[in-house]
């Protein structure tokens, strides 16, 4: 499989998150040596009442549990949206080899937007980063989700 194939799986996880009422972000953790998918998940902060339950965090937790190691050295993380500061910190701590993301997040992203976490002197591990893989699809999913939420809020008189 290639980057687009794995990102399509992450997009399916994002779509599933959207159907649960979560912001549609999906993540897939892969061992590139074996092409084994270690974890795949979508955002879940609302569903499990956990503000840290971003797709990336859930994938890292699942991967660490399955490998019985908090270091995920050599693994690749595919995510549909540019990781935030919290997720970038977790990615660095897990020693992820490579981060591949779809849509940029100018407001909340922390890789190529905002604080550029991996470029900070306090960041002890800098993964290789590939941006823009299936970005149009990831962006369209997010825009559609938020458009529907605004429409629903407007009907309820909340806007």
| Residue 39 neighbours by CB distance under 10 Å | 23
Q: How do residues 25-76 score in pLDDT, each as one tens digit?
A: 999 999 999 999 999 999 999 999 999 999 999 999 999 999 999 999 999 9
The helix/strand/coil state of 8 is helix
Closest CA to 17 of 50, 39, 42: 42
Each domain of the chain, given as residue ranges in start order, spans 3-137+145-150
Q: How do residues 3-29 score in pLDDT, each as one tens digit?
A: 999 999 999 999 999 999 999 999 999
Residue 152, pLDDT score: 75
Closest CA to 25 of 48, 56, 51: 56
Is position 112 annotated in a ligand binding site? no
Residue with tokens 């529907």: 148
Decide if 56 is catalytic: yes
Which of 4, 13, 33, 56 is catalytic? The answer is: 56
Residue 83, pLDDT score: 98
Q: Which has more confidence, 159 or 87? A: 87
- CA 116, 117, 121, 125 dihedral sign is negative
Q: How do residues 41-54 score in pLDDT, each as one tens digit?
A: 999 999 999 999 99
Q: Which has more confidence, 154 or 11? A: 11
Is position 49 annotated in a ligand binding site? no
Q: What is the mean pLDDT of residues 83-107?
A: 97
DSSP string over 86-112? HHHHHHHHHT-SEEEEEE--TTT--SS
Q: Is the pLDDT of residue 159 over 60?
A: no
Is position 125 annotated in a ligand binding site? no
152: tokens are: 């629903």
Domain 3-137+145-150: top CATH class: alpha beta
Q: 106: buried, middle or exposed (CB in 10 Å: 19+, 13-18, 0-12)?
A: exposed
Mean residue pLDDT across the chain = 95
User: Of all residues in the chain, what percent carry a pLDDT higher than 90?
Assistant: 91
| Edge-to-edge order in the sheet of strand 98-103 | 36-42, 26-31, 76-81, 98-103, 128-131
């Amino acid at each position: 499989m290639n980057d687009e194939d794995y990102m399509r799986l992450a997009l399916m996880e994002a779509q599933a998150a959207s159907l649960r009422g979560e912001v549609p972000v999906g993540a897939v953790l892969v061992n590139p040596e074996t092409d084994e998918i270690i974890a795949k998940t979508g955002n879940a902060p609302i569903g499990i009442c956990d503000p840290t339950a971003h797709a990336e965090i859930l994938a890292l937790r699942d991967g660490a549990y399955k490998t019985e190691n908090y270091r995920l050295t050599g693994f690749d993380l595919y995510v549909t949206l540019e990781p935030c500061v919290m997720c970038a910190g977790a990615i660095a701590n897990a020693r992820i080899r490579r981060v591949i993301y779809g849509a940029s997040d100018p407001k909340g992203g922390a890789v190529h937007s905002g604080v550029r976490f991996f470029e900070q002197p306090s960041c002890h591990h800098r993964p290789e980063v590939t941006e823009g893989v299936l970005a149009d699809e990831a962006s369209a999913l997010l825009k559609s989700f938020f458009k529907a939420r605004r429409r629903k809020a407007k009907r309820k008189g909340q806007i």
